[in-house]
Structure 1
Amino acid sequence: MTAAIDPAAVEGIARDPGAFLQQLDTIQRRALFVRLTEADLRAASFLDERLGLQGRDGFWVTLETLSAISAAVADPVEAPHYIFHIGHCGSTLISRLLDKDGNLLGLREPLALRELSAARRELDSPLSRVSAAQWSALFDGSLKLLGRGFSPGQRALIKATSTCNDLIESALEHDSASRLILLHIPLESYMATMLKGQGGGLDALHGAPARLQYLHETLGAESPRLHELGHAEILAMGWLSELLRFRRAADADAGKGRIMMLDFEQWLEQPDALLDAARKHLGLSGRATSAGAVAQWPEMRAYAKSPAHAYSPADRIHDLDLSRRKFASEIADGLRFAEHMAKRHPELQALL
């Protein structure tokens, strides 16, 4: 049931960063807040439905009350920084390593951002549940609430879900102080990673329509059609779409210094130097990381999405080699599709 909130309660929620905006519901025009500690947020790999709400205190408010709560948040709220990524490319690990700095608070895949992304894609449709103005207000208010820190000057580092990359432009427009890391891996490694996973990259298959739509709109093309593509070709198409989106955003940002493109495989080869580069990009101070230090951190020997399980860079290489042998034919299909698309659209050639 959606709670009626009195003005004093609105002020209390606005001042409490532990009242976490967990969900937006545009159907019933309400929002869910859940009580979380700073330690809860730092421990969570996902802040979506996988967070687990059973046994947690929470309450629903109307979207109108949500607007009042965000308006009551005391300024200043530091503008969030972001990690956008193509999926299964080390984003959780990078987020956890950057989260070691007390001035950053890593928020990994908040559901509210995913819901905002889905709503944004429907804005041009007569079936959209919110207007463009309502969406902008929801986006601004949600970021203000997500950006609340537990200590003065603490800034949120939001790692978005891989299907939220359509929010890159909105994130840049929201606050000029925000900095973005766009994380990716080469196509062949992406194919091997996705095919070895449960469902063979089911999340990428679900996100394929939106990615193909972006590719069509950007390239001015009407093909390929989704029903014409095989499993591996859909994965390659999604990679092309997101890398094109990243490259266009980075090109538009040239000279402004707000976007850092980061190849996770290059980061694995130079973790100390490139982690320092990412920290510098986000405006973090501190001494340079000594050579070989990052490799010794416990995060590098655990599976970032489930830290109780051991997993090292060597384990990753082993798993990818197995996948490359098992799915050699499918990987070849995906690479051929990408090369064919690049011949038809020269803008894609540089991505390969």
Structure 2
Amino acid sequence: MANDPFQRRFAADASLLPHMADLANDRVLVALLAEPDYRHASFLDQRLLTDRIGREWLPWDALPDLGTAAPRPDFIFHIGHVGSTLVSRLLAEVGDVLPLREPMLLRTLAQVAERIDRPESVWSPDRYRTRKRQALGWLGRGFGPGQRAMVKASSVITAIADDLTEADGRNLFLYVPLGRYIATILAGEASLAETLAQAPARMARLAAMLPDLDAALWQLPPVTRVAMSWLCEMATAQRTLSRRDPRHLWVDFEVMLANPASAIAAQVAHFGLTTDPGRIDAVIAGPIMRQYSKAPDHGYSPDLRRQLQVQAEETHAAAIRDAIAWVEALAARYTSLADLPIHNDQEIICSS
């Protein structure tokens, strides 16, 4: 690396984002982003690649290994549609944080990890471990000394959260109780369509976690499939982000909305960020809390969120009751699910 100008630049320059991987051809698409591009982007996926963004495919091994001493990113994990983009925007404003929202490279790692012990795996376990370490080093770069990279992962990445968590890292996990999750998903056509599209993969993951699960996706009505999705992601988090581990801060987003300044202050302390209460209050009072975080041009607020939830709860009351009863039956059968917050007034209880 010492004699290669590109590799030296890549090691120190967060503007060179390893955007996505092509497993078949063992290469990485490197995109050229300014710091405002990171801050404005709701997703670092295909939508990022406009004509304005320069990019080039390079062999994976053409990118440097930054070593074990390279900074690693902190993470925001979540179950989907529980305010993770909002929290990412808030933390990026109150501290010296570079936000990376749903980088596609992590999806590649998750895809490989899912098949790593199968004959069709494209990487050996050793190569997976090496390249996971490389990728974390790449995603941990900032634009200046002391700037912290913070990845807001997509919900499916929770399955490999324990692989991504460093011994001295800090992570946030966002969730809501089952009833509120169902209402949130049903309140938006796009969120419902996305959740139903992801249901087959989540059902497969849930079945792998629950021995002798006697249910098939085709047997579940749409609202129960939403409940199954919540159950899958919460059960996954129990395995990969133990609440007993001080590195992982679990936050009920509905509780956070009741006192966002206090919640952000707790998150700032958890991540070890430097800020002051006045800055937090100013950001909370600013436009971010009144915007739809995934599309800031559109207005959205906690009050509107709750109004839409109430409408969904009233419209789909019977189906929601059936879906909750389905999860309750599984929680009664599997002790690993017993402490999950199924009801809106229920907190997660950790037994010792």
Amino acid at match of 2:134: G
Distance 2:59 2:191 in 1: 39
* Residues 227 and 153 of structure 1: CA distance in aligned 2, closer, same or farther (over 3 Å): same
* Residues 54 and 327 of structure 1: CA distance in aligned 2, closer, same or farther (over 3 Å): farther
Partner of 1:81: 74
Distance 1:148 1:38 in 2: 12
Amino acid at match of 2:130: A
Instruction: Indicate the larger mover: 111-120 or 83-92.
Output: 111-120
Report sequence identity in percent: 34
Partner of 1:3: none
Stretches of structure 1 that go unaligned for 5 or more consecutive residues are 1-5
Structure 1 residue 206: Cα displacement: 3.1
Distance 1:291 1:280 in 2: 12
Partner of 1:239: 230
* Residues 60 and 146 of structure 1: CA distance in aligned 2, closer, same or farther (over 3 Å): same
Q: Secondary structure at the residue paired with 2:80?
A: coil
Q: Deviations over 1:33-73 (max 9, x none)?
A: 0100011101110001122332321111012213xx2x2x4
* Residues 348 and 10 of structure 1: CA distance in aligned 2, closer, same or farther (over 3 Å): same
Amino acid at match of 1:257: P
Distance 2:68 2:336 in 1: 43
Matched, 1:218 2:209: yes
Q: Normalising by the residue count of structure 2, what TM-score does the alignment of the two structures yield?
A: 0.90
Distance 2:70 2:323 in 1: 44
- Structure 2 residue corresponding to 1:33, chosen from 7, 24, 30: 30
* Residues 17 and 229 of structure 1: CA distance in aligned 2, closer, same or farther (over 3 Å): same
Preserved CA contact (<8 Å) 1:78 1:153: no
Over the aligned positions, Cα root-mean-square deviation in angstroms equals 2.1
Preserved CA contact (<8 Å) 2:95 2:275: no
Q: Secondary structure at the residue paired with 2:93?
A: coil
Amino acid at match of 1:156: A
* Residues 150 and 199 of structure 1: CA distance in aligned 2, closer, same or farther (over 3 Å): closer
Partner of 2:91: 98
1:1-352 superposed matches below 5 A: 7-66=4-63, 69=64, 71=65, 73=66, 76-172=69-165, 175-199=166-190, 201-251=192-242, 254=244, 256-288=245-277, 295-351=284-340, 352=342
Q: Deviations over 1:317-338 (max 9, x none)?
A: 1211222222223322211211
* Residues 35 and 247 of structure 1: CA distance in aligned 2, closer, same or farther (over 3 Å): same
Q: Secondary structure at the residue paired with 1:100?
A: helix
Preserved CA contact (<8 Å) 1:272 1:290: no
Instruction: Indicate the larger mover: 146-155 or 45-54.
Output: 45-54
* Residues 199 and 93 of structure 1: CA distance in aligned 2, closer, same or farther (over 3 Å): closer
Stretches of structure 2 that go unaligned for 5 or more consecutive residues are 343-352
Preserved CA contact (<8 Å) 1:276 1:289: no
Distance 1:304 1:344 in 2: 38
Count of aligned residue pairs for this structure pair: 339
Structure 1 residue 177: Cα displacement: 2.0
Distance 2:286 2:179 in 1: 28
Amino acid at match of 2:150: L
Structure 1 residue 205: Cα displacement: 2.6
Structure 1 residue 295: Cα displacement: 4.3
Amino acid at match of 2:77: F
Q: Secondary structure at the residue paired with 1:150?
A: coil
Q: Secondary structure at the residue paired with 1:202?
A: helix
Distance 1:250 1:316 in 2: 27
Preserved CA contact (<8 Å) 1:34 1:59: yes
Structure 1 residue 219: Cα displacement: 2.9
Distance 1:35 1:211 in 2: 34
* Residues 258 and 324 of structure 1: CA distance in aligned 2, closer, same or farther (over 3 Å): same
Distance 2:280 2:129 in 1: 44
Structure 1 residue 209: Cα displacement: 3.4
